[in-house]
Amino acid sequence: MDTTRRHALKTGGGVTLLTLLAAAGWLKPGEAAAEDWNKAAFETKSMDETMKALGGGAPATSADIIFFSTPDIAENGAVVPIGITSKIANTQSIAILVEKNPNMLAAVFDIPAGTDTSLSTRIKMGQTSNVYALVKADGKYHVASKEIKVTLGGCGG
Amino acid sequence: MIARLRIAAAIALGVTAVAIGGAFAQSSTVDEIAKYREALQDGNPAELWEARGEEMWTTPRGPKRVSFATCDLGLGPGVVKGAYAALPRYFADAKSVMDLETRLVWCMVNQQGISEGDATKIKFGDGSARRSDLEALAAYVTSQSRGVEMKVPVNEPHVRDMYRLGEQMFFYRGGTHDFSCATCHGEDGKRIRLQDLPNLTKTEGAQKAYTTWPAYRVSQGELRTFQWRLNDCFRQQRFPDLVFGSEASIALTTYLAGRANGAPYNGPAIKR
Amino acid sequence: MRMTRIVGAATAALLCGAVAGGLHGCATSPSDAETAARAATALKASFNARGQAGLDRLDQDETQKVCSEYANRPLPASVAEKIQQVNLATIRYPADGTLVGDWKNGEKIAQSGQGFQFSDDPKVLAGANCYACHQLTPQELSFGTIGPSLYRFGKVRGFTDETRKYAWGKVYNADAFAACSNMPRFGHSRILTEQQIRDVVALLVDPASPVNQ
Amino acid sequence: MADPMKIRANVVGDSTEVKVLMNHEMETGQRKDAQGKTIPAWFIQNVKVTHNEKVVLNAQWGPAVAKNPFLSFKFKGGAKGDKVKITWTDNRNDTRTDEATIA
């Protein structure tokens, strides 16, 4: 843990996933205030840095997070449909991250008890990239990823 | 000799593998694009334009403070339901064949007292703050024909004349690149990049294409009308700027709408 | 300009006369010819010059005119032959004899659809937008199918002088080989520069080009 | 003022399915205008959905959510005639609240 942190500090620049989670209020007990918008989390730039920082706190790859109605190829990066279902018990939050976007965090959904842990929305993608579905359940983090190719459509002119 | 044959066989096998790989990649690309389009169908932002257009339709506008309740789209003053499915048509009061957009402008100018310049100031939105009233109105009016069978009165002499003119224009090659409408839309099963091209010379192709305009264009974040569709096709044909509501725009719309007759209207749609 | 138009019309009449042998040229009936003429007039009144696209873009040369007239019905062999002859005569091969350039640059030209639209910057070199209609390298999945696949163009035909010359001619003026082709006449219509054509030819015929892998 | 949202809320089995389209540019702050000037970021940051005053979804968005955003989800309960209320707030502090009746 310590080593990871030091490493992250040394490399500088990138914000680690842990910082991201802390900033997003996920590491604190209780719900984030409704009108909070966590600037630091939405300004993360490097997936590499966040992945290096995972160490002991790394989200576990989970087969219980499923992408639905999410194509492998997007005809246009301006609108990419993303559907995520978490089958993990006590899911509290679902976040969407795009590895190669200028800022990788796209959206975080806090899901109160009584709301299905399944939702769909649409995001922008600048280029072909891995998309991560990050789930917080019982205070632990789980992740699934999917590569979505972005193509150039139409006449290209 | 044997060694050589082996090499040849190996090369041949390699080539086959590449060919199969290529074919597989391609068919899965097409399938995945189909999945992408399907995923977009649920929740079409065109509805936001429809809502804005509906509001405008019923609100008194212009110096005369008149709403579109007096605007006759061909089925009587203020009648919207099914009107788009029978356009373009001949309007005796204007002594001309009009499509939806030119008719909307006519109502704004002749009934609401808005100058033609103001009515057509923003023909097409710019994907940002410059929004077009005409696109919103067209979204609303066309949405009221959803499911209604296309019945453009192609046997009416003025309309028939326009239709024939449009047909000639469809095949007119010009510009630096020798393009006509038919270059891209004259054969079955063709694509430009990954975009399927409807064969507009065939009934099914024209029906499928025409009945899905206007459409929310994902790439532009705007609702686009058929006038826009034609203008942008000509831009890509390397032609000059098609004048909004011009004779060529009406003739081509009449030709394509007429060819779509018999199919249920299915717009506004959502497209790349 | 006027002169060209008259010459164009005369050639068109000549091309059609070769088949129909009559005064009505290519049209199936006088009323069709009349509608075609009205359509041409209406078209010219329906556009505004914008950016680099002037109204002269609507003036047809003889090839465009004849191809428009036959667009909706079979093109007779003799007319096709005549069109090919006329267009074959326009092909200019480079004075220095170098037909093949840099395939890497050719790939960029093949990817680019920029150029000659009223919305384009006329100072930027145009692309050929080959991928809009053709498959070329196996890496690019987003390709059109209006034209045939050109994957392994050189490999299939052989890396010979003949292949190189054919590729040059085809890019320069496709109507010389297939009358009323859907393909723009990139050299004849001055869409691409001589060097750009070399680069596109390289993409097709260079053994090192990904097209031939 | 921002244009209204389009909200659909329907009873599906023992749940209510909510689908919403919002009118918003969702400008990324990465694009440049014709003069080469960066177009400032302008996007929805917070979305809150309530049913009978109970929060059923709370979202934080960045500019990578697509223009004219779409969101679809379900919550347990909800009866025909109940109201679903949605509020968004953007980075310019503009806000919009719309309500729909569950059908």
pLDDT given at position D18: 97
Q: What is the CATH number of the domain that holds C173?
A: 1.10.760.10
In angstroms, rounded to a whole number, what is the distance separating the alpha carbons of residues B146 and B131? 24
pLDDT given at position B24: 44
Nearest to B185 by CA among B213, B161, B160, B204: B204
Confidence check: pLDDT of A43 > 60: yes
H/E element holding D90? strand D83-90
Q: Which of B107, B181, B184, B233 is flagged as catalytic?
A: B233
Nearest to A136 by CA among A79, A90, A103: A90
Residues 6+ apart with CB under 8 A from C212: C152, C153, C154, C155, C205, C206
pLDDT given at position B253: 98
pLDDT given at position B13: 36
In angstroms, rounded to a whole number, what is the distance separating the alpha carbons of residues B85 and B79? 12
Q: Which among D4, D27, D39 has CB closest to B51? A: D4
pLDDT given at position B7: 39
pLDDT given at position A75: 85
The answer to whether B233 touches B170, Cβ cutoff 8 Å, is: no
Query: Cis link prior to B88 (omega < 30° from 0)?
Result: yes
**Contact residues on chain B for C48, CB-CB shorter than 8 A:** 240-241, 243
Q: Is residue C83 part of a domain?
A: no
C-alpha C134: how far from chain center:
14
Using a CB–CB cutoff of 8 Å, tell me whether B236 touches chain A: yes
Burial per residue of D44-68, b for 16 or more beta-carbon CB atoms within 10 angstroms, e otherwise: bbbbbbbbeeebbbbbbbbbbbbbb
Q: Which of C28, C34, C47 has the most B C-beta neighbours within 10 Å, making it the best mutation to test the interface with B?
A: C47
CATH 1.10.760.10 assigned to B46-271? yes
Q: Which among B43, B128, B221 has CB closest to D19? A: B43
- CA A2, A5, A7, A9 torsion: positive or negative? negative
D: neighbours with 3+ CB pairs under 8 Å? A, B
CATH 2.60.40.10 assigned to D6-30+37-101? yes
- CA B207, B212, B214, B219 torsion: positive or negative? negative
pLDDT given at position A152: 62
Residue ranges of domains in chain A: 37-150
H/E element holding A85? strand A80-86
Question: Is B181 part of the annotated catalytic residue set?
Answer: no
Q: What is the pTM of this model?
A: 0.84
Nearest to C203 by CA among C127, C103, C102: C103
pLDDT given at position A20: 52
How confident is the model over A126-148, as pLDDT tens digits?
999 999 999 989 878 899 999 99
pLDDT given at position B25: 53
The answer to whether B105 touches B227, Cβ cutoff 8 Å, is: no
Token pair in block for residue B101: 């957009």
Q: Which among A42, A120, A125 has CB closest to D72? A: A120
Residue ranges of domains in chain D: 6-30+37-101
C89: phi then psi, degrees, rounded to nearest 5: -65, -15
CATH architecture of the domain A37-150 equals Sandwich (2.60)
Residues C200, C108: one domain?
yes
Residues 6+ apart with CB under 8 A from C182: B183, C133, C146, C147
How confident is the model over C73-124, as pLDDT tens digits?
899 999 999 999 999 999 999 999 999 999 999 999 999 999 999 999 999 9
> Residue B233 in 3-state DSSP?
helix
Instruction: Show the domain range for C125.
Output: 103-212
In angstroms, rounded to a whole number, what is the distance separating the alpha carbons of residues B29 and B33? 6
Residues 6+ apart with CB under 8 A from C195: C101
Alpha carbons within 13 angstroms on the beta-carbon side of residue B80 total 17
Q: How many domains does chain C have?
A: 2
In angstroms, rounded to a whole number, what is the distance separating the alpha carbons of residues A18 and A95? 14
State the DSSP code for B27.
Answer: H
Query: Cis link prior to B240 (omega < 30° from 0)?
Result: no
Residue A93: strand pairing partners: A110, A136
- State what percent of residues in chain A have pLDDT above 70: 66
How confident is the model over B127-181, as pLDDT tens digits?
777 889 999 999 999 999 999 999 999 999 999 999 999 999 999 999 999 999 9
In angstroms, rounded to a whole number, what is the distance separating the alpha carbons of residues A40 and D99? 32
Classify strands B215-217 and B269-271 as parallel, antiparallel or unpaired.
Answer: parallel
**Average pLDDT score, chain C:** 88
Using a CB–CB cutoff of 8 Å, tell me whether D78 touches chain A: no
Token pair in block for residue A147: 């590569």
**Contact residues on chain B for A153, CB-CB shorter than 8 A:** 193-195, 219, 272
In angstroms, rounded to a whole number, what is the distance separating the alpha carbons of residues A14 and A48? 8
- State what percent of residues in chain D have pLDDT above 70: 99
Residues of chain B with pLDDT below 70 are 1-27
Residues 59-118 of C with CB under 8 A from B: 59-60, 63-65, 67-68, 71-72, 116-118
